[in-house]
Structure formats: C-alpha cells, structure tokens
Amino acid sequence: MTPTSHGEEAAAGTERVGVVGCGLMGSGIAELSALAGCDVRVAVSSRGSLAAGRSRIVASLDRAVRAERIGAATRDEALGRISFTTDLIDLADRQLVIESIAEDKAAKVELFALLDKTLEDPEAILASNTSSLSITAMASVTGRPEQVVGIHFFSPAQLIPLVEVISSLHTAESVAARAEEFVTVSLGKQAIRSTDRTGFVVNALLVPYLLAAVRMVESSFASAETIDRGMTLGCSHPVGPLKLADLIGLDVLRSVADALYDEFKEALYAPPPLLTRMVESGLLGKKAGRGFYRYG
C-alpha cells in the first residue's frame, strides 16, 4: 500500500478512491485522499467543472504550503495522485467511491444507480457525503445496498476533524467498519457513527439552533452582530450562529432545514421566510460576498 503523509498505510481495500463532484466538498475530499496516499480519480459533469475543480485543489494545496502545514514536495506528490474524468466509466476500478454532488435527492439516487452498474468490484463501497439525505434511498436503487454507507465530511473537509459515518438498515457492519477505518486511519480524522435519520447527529442539533438565530433577526428581536456576540462571549462558542450560517452557505442551510422538516414536520426545522428570501436573492453567505454580513 502507498504510505500516507502521516507515515501510515492507506486503509485496506480503499487505496483506489473515486470522488464524484469537485465543488467545495468534493475537492476537499479528493485532496485529503491524495494526501493520504490514495490513487484518486475525480469524476465531474463537464470540462468546465474539471478545470474549476483542478484549480480549487491546486489553490487549497498551495495555501497549505504557505501555512507550512505541508511541504512543496508533499503538495506535488498529492497532485500527482489525482486524475480527472468526465466519464463515470473511468471509476470502474475504484474500491471506494464517495459521491459529493449537490444536495438533490433525485440526482443522488440517479447517480447511485449508475455507479452500481459501473463499479467492477462487487466489494466496492459506495458512499455519500450528503449532510441530510436518506442513505437508504440511495442504497435502494443499487444491487449492493449492504455496500452503501454515508461518509459525511464537514466544511472545509481539509480542516474540520469530524466525519460522520452513517449506516442504513441495509449497511453491513463490515462496510461501516471499513468506512470508519478509511476515515480514521487513512485520513487521520475523528469519526462518529449515526443511524440513517435526516440530519444525522450534528445537523439535527445544529440546524434548529441556527434557524432560531435567523428568526431572532427576522423578528427584529436582535441584530446578527448582537446575537453572535452573545453566543461567542456568553457561551464561549468560537463563532456565532449567523456568521456560521454564512460560512456554511445559506442555500445549504435551507436545503438541510427543508429535509429535516419534510421528515419530522416539526416547526423548529422549518426554514424562516427571511432565510428563503435571502437564498432567492442570491445572498448565500460568505461564498457570495454577502449574507447576514458583508464580505470583501
């Protein structure tokens, strides 16, 4: 097996990794896997996405070099382990494929059906990086539901230490264990297990808190600055809820809230009208330059 950047070996059975999607999350997962010594192949939908994804990974690795988290040689070795394709058939030899496309249930289900037909190894693991959607729904369209698992990274994947490993009712324990080994041994992350319930562990707790802060702003009870200052100074949170919402992306927050409300029909999960209007207006948070705060 190829040595990882930490001097360990990549987890058995997951040396050839495929990543579908190369946005903010997909590029981070590809980067992590390459730094861990894996042979990484990234599948994207178009040549434009390929160029953008490659640039995103190069820029991230360059930042890591400037911050002295890695050396230039390590960066170059990692880039040499990553290849790109616009054809899913090029993932046929992968031992683990992690889907990281947009949070759209229909699109993910369609992709899993295609990946199931593409992968040659019957023991290959199909994983989703979804933050809220049903792993069971994706597994149900494959001929290998026991090989399907959730591996949910947090943004930015390169820096946040936690990963959730989610088992559906069909996921074999051996598959969940292999996924957890990949996360902890190969990638050097911390893992927690969750059952297949919308929001899993972290977002089921976090999203109602963020939505409550949005409602406070919406009702003019307090400003975003006041709320965030109260939670950072009064509760020792490293960042306030409105600034965190901006960092996550208000479109992502609304998507997760929609999924939680669809499943549980509880008012605390319902997206406030202000959040919906901000998303409709393109005020998506830091990535758009403006959300509850303005960004230069």
Phi first, then psi: what are they for 3, rounded to 5°? -65, 145
Reduced to 3 DSSP states, what percent helix, strand and coil does the chain have, rounded to the nearest 5? 50, 15, 35
Which region holds residue 169: left if phi is over 0, alpha if psi is between -120 and 50, else beta? alpha
Cα 58–Cα 279–Cα 197 angle in degrees, nearest 5: 80
d(CA 248, CA 151): 18
Catalytic residue numbers? 131, 152, 164, 203
Helix (H) or strand (E) run with residue 273 in it = helix 273-280
Longest Cα–Cα distance of the chain, Å, equals 58
Pairing of strands 162-167, 148-153: antiparallel
Q: Do residues 175 and 202 make contact, with C-beta atoms less than 8 angstroms apart?
A: no
| Residue tagged 């992690």 (tokens) | 98
d(CA 152, CA 201): 11
Q: Where are the alpha helices (DSSP H) in 47-199?
A: 47-66, 72-80, 105-118, 135-139, 173-181
CB 30 within 8 A of CB 19: yes
